[in-house]
Amino acid sequence: MEKILDRFLRYVSVDTQSDENSESQPSTEKQLTLLQMLRDELLALGVEATLDEYGYVMGSIPSNLDREVPAVGFIAHVDTAPDASGKDVKPQIIENYDGGPVDLKGVPGLALKPEEFPEMLHYIGQTLITTDGTTLLGADDKAGVAEIMDAVQYLVEHPEFPHGPIRIGFTPDEEIGRGVVKFDVKRFGADYAYTMDGGEIGELEFENFNAASAKIRIQGRNVHPGYAKGKMKNAILIGQELNGLLPVEQRPEFTEGYEGFFHLIHFNGTVEEAEFSYIIRDHDRAKFERKKQIIREAAAFINGKYGEGTAKAEVRDQYYNMREQVEPHYHIIEKAVKAIEMAGIQPKIQPIRGGTDGANLSFKGLPCPNIFAGGLNFHGKMEFVPLESIEKASEVILNLIRLFAGQ
């Protein structure tokens, strides 16, 4: 078998950054490079696999049992986040990590430090894979891709391993919230599935944020500043005033656990006009709806003060909390807990302070909780993943397959 480390390094060498400003599917042509590679690797292993026009790779392994059992799917996304470059990734392999700082050699003076990232100390003695400080690593979610492919290769090379129908899915554009917009659940053919897209080893998640985006456009009035009294309306300052109407304690930097937030992610403006972009998040549906209303009320207040049409708020839902769709099928959570325990790991069931393809898939009729892929500090140059966590995640996949086969 190809070593899982070699497989992972091969995948992160492909630039697959998605682009939220693109209207195409996939959002970037370069994602298809890895998607085609994965389709071809599945075919080379003797696995039936296709790549469709939307960038979805679907693979199918028939059951080798003499009885009927549910078809189980495993899904990971190939794209990396727009937040940091995924081009020319140069991973560093730190064997037998000693608990000290790790220099990121592509940027002099930059280092991963345990005093800033204390979770590093959980992995003393293990092999850490880090960035060189110039790009992200891509463990989100190429670790998940490697784990699934490693498990597939094991099944192919061990035909005696008992399993029911297995479905494999690789998707583009998860990082920009469009990962499964056109994913054909019926064609995929799984009864249940798991995304391998979580973080630290042991994580198991079946709750995620309800999510919305908000764009607020401010129309100002520009007048020569020497003659502006009583006439000028500065769109930048009005936008700042609107932002000040939102609860400060509900910003991401002040929240944790089940606490939701308003997050200002982009601002662009002049005196004449400005635009403020937010993401809105909350696990609780009622609180989520209230947050959206607060945005609208803030815009209405501004219009009442400065004139109708000064602020225009556009609020769009993105995804919802998968819990309501997964909980009626709680046995798939129980199987995941057991599979993690069988690998000698303590399961950590916790809410996702984000979202996954699994959330949207669950609302499409495919219950799909999320299992750890092993990485930490996603979306930036401080990203790293312990090799042993990747290996354990692949083991968990095989354990789940065994459990669904009734073994």
Nearest to 204 by CA among 356, 70, 57: 356
Q: Which of 275, 294, 319 is the last residue of a domain?
A: 319
**In a 3-state reduction of DSSP, which class is residue 46?**
coil
**Catalytic, out of 15, 173, 174, 282:** 174
Q: Give yes or no: residues 327 and 386 share one domain.
A: yes
pLDDT tens-place string over residues 248-265: 999 999 999 999 999 999
Q: Residues 144, 271: one domain?
A: no
Confidence bin at 397 (pLDDT 50/70/90): very high
Of 348, 392, 347, residue with least CA distance to 123: 392
173 is catalytic: no
Q: Can you say whether residue 84 is alpha, beta or left, with left for phi > 0 and alpha for psi between -120 and 50 degrees?
A: beta
Taking alpha carbons only, the member of 350, 356, 347, 344 closest to residue 388 is 344
> Do 255 and 194 share a domain, yes or no?
no
- CA of 290: how far to CAs of 95, 280, 296, 365, in Å? 49, 10, 10, 27
Domain with residue 170: its CATH number is 3.40.630.10
**Which residue reads 């936008």 in tokens?**
239
| Structural domain boundaries enclosing 254 | 210-319
Residues 136 and 220 in one domain: no
Together in a domain, 313 and 325: no
Instruction: Check if the beta carbon of residue 337 is closer than 8 Å to that of residue 346.
Output: no
Domain boundary, last residue among 287, 319, 351: 319
Q: Taking 80 as the threshold, does the pLDDT of residue 275 lie above it?
A: yes
* Cα 192 to Cα 404: distance, rounded to the nearest angstrom: 10
Q: Which two tokens stand for residue 69?
A: 């059992």
pLDDT tens figures, 83-117: 999 999 999 999 999 999 999 999 999 999 999 99
Per-residue pLDDT, 20: 87
Within this chain, do residues 315 and 331 fall inside the same structural domain, yes or no? no
| Residue 56 pLDDT > 80 | yes
Q: What local confidence, expressed as pLDDT, does residue 151 receive? A: 98
Whether the predicted model's global pTM rises above the 0.85 cut: yes
State mean pLDDT over 120-126. Answer: 98
8 A C-beta contact, residue 264 and residue 245: no
Q: Specify the residue for token string 């939102």.
A: 246
Spatial distance between the Cα atoms of 103 and 92, rounded to a whole number of angstroms: 10
Distance CA 404, CA 395 (A): 14
Indicate if 327 and 201 belong to the same structural domain. Answer: yes
pLDDT, mean over the chain: 96
Of the three residues 286, 319, 352, the one that is the final residue of a domain is: 319
- Reported as a single tens digit per residue, the pLDDT across 35-45 is 999 999 999 99
User: Catalytic residue among 41, 79, 150, 207, which?
Assistant: 79
- Catalytic site residue 253? no
Q: What is the mean pLDDT of residues 189-213?
A: 96
Same domain, 379 and 394: yes
Q: The domain spanning residue 308 has which CATH number? A: 3.30.70.360
Chain centre to alpha carbon of residue 148: 16
Is the model's pLDDT at 219 over the cut of 70? yes
Tell whether the torsion through CA atoms of 15, 20, 21 and 22 is positive or negative: positive
CA distance 72 to 76: 14
Provide, rounded to the nearest whole percent, the portion of the chain with pLDDT above 70.
100
Q: In the predicted model, what is the mean pLDDT of residues 154-179?
A: 96
What is residue 406's DSSP assignment? Answer: T
Do 312 and 325 belong to one domain? no
CB atoms within 10 A of CB 389: 27
Whether residues 150 and 263 fall in one domain: no
Residue closest to 84 by CA, chosen among 5, 11, 26, 16: 16
**230 and 185 within one domain:** no
Q: Please tell me whether residues 196 and 240 are part of one structural domain.
A: no
CB count within 10 Å of CB 404 equals 22
Q: Is the dihedral of CA 42, 44, 50, 55 positive or negative?
A: positive
Give the number of domains in the chain. Answer: 2
